[in-house]
Chains A and B, each alone.
Chain A
């Protein structure tokens, strides 16, 4: 991936070109999904004040382009037209786990089966090797970043999530709904996984920190920091902090998959 190359370049740049500024304020703007994690990083960052504004990935990309923010945050891949002039740095990866009730005998689905379930063409667990019961499909609300990623990575263009799907605006609430309904299926970010539900393997790959990091688990999204040109000054320092062992261990503690191992 080009982002890996960018990352290497960034480290190289960071080592050779030490900035003279000891402190500098950084303004971050963009994805509401990244915002809480960015705030965690900002809390522990000591070399300057970091302001985090949300507004969505699209707004973050725009902010990076026109310079209203030093660093734009995007939780989705950029389109070709959007990426022009921007340097993208993957700061963490966020996996999305497909979850079912603990008593559900189904432990794995193919992407095609998952797509069928959410499109409403597969309606019984028996079709995918489970019990003979209708599937209760649960999804997040329109506008949610988790839903956007699910739509993009699983459904693809043109296939919508079935109208009959139950909708909730909270990932904790969704997990509760799945935990209490033996026939339910839903999806939550990796950090929301707990013992009350179990995650399904997709195309044979279980979501774990390792499979998300090495991109073998398909249902995931990168958390991107965007700068106009290579990051310099305060932005560069902040990015170095985020990618440092310290920054990455914060990401891991918050349930994200770090991008580098130390």
Chain B
């Protein structure tokens, strides 16, 4: 009797979280869809002009802006993050590791407005005054660099998990064949951890796409298709946060419509990340059951035993 009561309460708590998500979804779509259909879905997504005062709502510059800064963040952040993950998981002495890993995780706890402020005070003037760079400083480049630092903890910690999940026997097999440590890492460990690393990258992308405050502070927020990394850009999230203050009527709805685009992008990234990881979990089972040779197993196997951590699309 008491067990059933507790069960009910827990069920209620569980469904309320899902109901919240459902409500948010319904609300965003109800508010945003009318503008999308007034404008025509295609012209909303591919329109180049965002002029709420003239009733023109095209979000392509923002989609391009989000894509550019996210890609930039990965170009800068992925090599760094991967190098850091390999070092920590495979090479670092246990003592160094005990210090470095928590420090990196601390990086995730720094509020985004702090990153944005550092970007404004240090990075933007640097870009403006540096030879070969120049321009206003507020740019896709500034946003990319700041985002790269912000996605590092995500990429590093998930990659470390993926690398550590590669069974010890793989490495031992590799060494037994006469491979060096570096050959083992590049030839056996990384391929085996590939799907986990891909998931790390996609979750990092989700973080970059959803980031708002830091990006607003350094990206310049011009509604234009960027021609270079030094051009100011506006991201989808920035569009909502910038204009929500005074928006009313159709303008406010258009911001919700921007939210729909963001929602769909985040959902897709989440789904892809989930699938990549799901595939790897299946292959672990296969690999564990099949008495295949180490190379074939390495081919099949990815990360395992990781908790699927959720991505937070900060809408």
Query: Which residues 49-64 of A sit at the B interface, judged by CB distance below 8 A?
Result: 55-56, 59
Q: How big is chain A's contact interface, by range?
A: 20 to 34
Q: Given A165-B222, A166-B136, decide whether A142 and B52 contact each other with a Cβ distance below 8 A.
A: yes
Q: Are A168 and B51 in contact (CB under 8 A)?
A: no
Which A residues are CB-close (under 8 A) to B128? 181
For A169, the closest partner residue in chain B by CB is B242
Which B residues are CB-close (under 8 A) to A55? 248
* A-B pairs with beta carbons under 8 A, tally: 68
Q: Are A59 and B248 in contact (CB under 8 A)?
A: yes
Nearest CB of B to A61, in Å: 13
Q: Are A181 and B136 in contact (CB under 8 A)?
A: yes
A145 at the interface (CB under 8 A from B): yes
Residues of B within 8 A of A (CB): 50-54, 61, 125, 128, 136-138, 216, 220-224, 231-232, 234, 241-243, 245-248, 251
CA distance A183 to B138 in the complex (A): 13
Residues of A within 8 A of B (CB): 32, 55-56, 59, 136, 141-145, 148, 151, 160, 163-169, 177, 180-181, 183-184
Q: Which of B52, B125, B221 contacts A143 (CB 8 A)?
A: B52
For A143, the closest partner residue in chain B by CB is B246
Q: Are B224 and A136 in contact (CB under 8 A)?
A: no
For A184, the closest partner residue in chain B by CB is B136
Q: Are B137 and A141 in contact (CB under 8 A)?
A: no
Q: Which of B137, B232, B243 contacts A142 (CB 8 A)?
A: B243
Which A residues are CB-close (under 8 A) to B216? 169
CA distance A32 to B246 in the complex (A): 8
Q: Are A163 and B222 in contact (CB under 8 A)?
A: yes
CA distance A143 to B253 in the complex (A): 13
Q: Are B251 and A142 in contact (CB under 8 A)?
A: yes
CA distance A183 to B53 in the complex (A): 28
Nearest CB of B to A155, in Å: 11
Q: Are A169 and B136 in contact (CB under 8 A)?
A: no
Q: Given A141-B242, A180-B125, A181-B136, decide whether A168 and B221 contact each other with a Cβ distance below 8 A.
A: yes
CA distance A95 to B30 in the complex (A): 40
21 residue pairs A–B, Cβ–Cβ below 8 Å:
A56-B246, A141-B243, A141-B245, A142-B50, A142-B51, A143-B52, A143-B245, A143-B247, A148-B53, A165-B222, A166-B138, A166-B221, A166-B232, A167-B223, A167-B234, A167-B242, A168-B221, A168-B242, A169-B241, A177-B138, A180-B125
Which B residues are CB-close (under 8 A) to A143? 52, 243, 245-248, 251
Q: Given A181-B128, A181-B136, decide whether A163 and B246 contact each other with a Cβ distance below 8 A.
A: no
CA distance A148 to B61 in the complex (A): 22
Nearest CB of A to B130, in Å: 14
Q: Are A142 and B222 in contact (CB under 8 A)?
A: no
Which A residues are CB-close (under 8 A) to B52? 142-143
CA distance A198 to B61 in the complex (A): 33
CA distance A165 to B125 in the complex (A): 18
For B225, the closest partner residue in chain A by CB is A163
For B48, the closest partner residue in chain A by CB is A163
Q: Are A151 and B222 in contact (CB under 8 A)?
A: no
CA distance A177 to B138 in the complex (A): 10
Nearest CB of B to A123, in Å: 12
Q: Which of B52, B54, B221, B247 has the most CB of A within 10 A?
A: B221
CA distance A136 to B230 in the complex (A): 13
CA distance A141 to B220 in the complex (A): 11
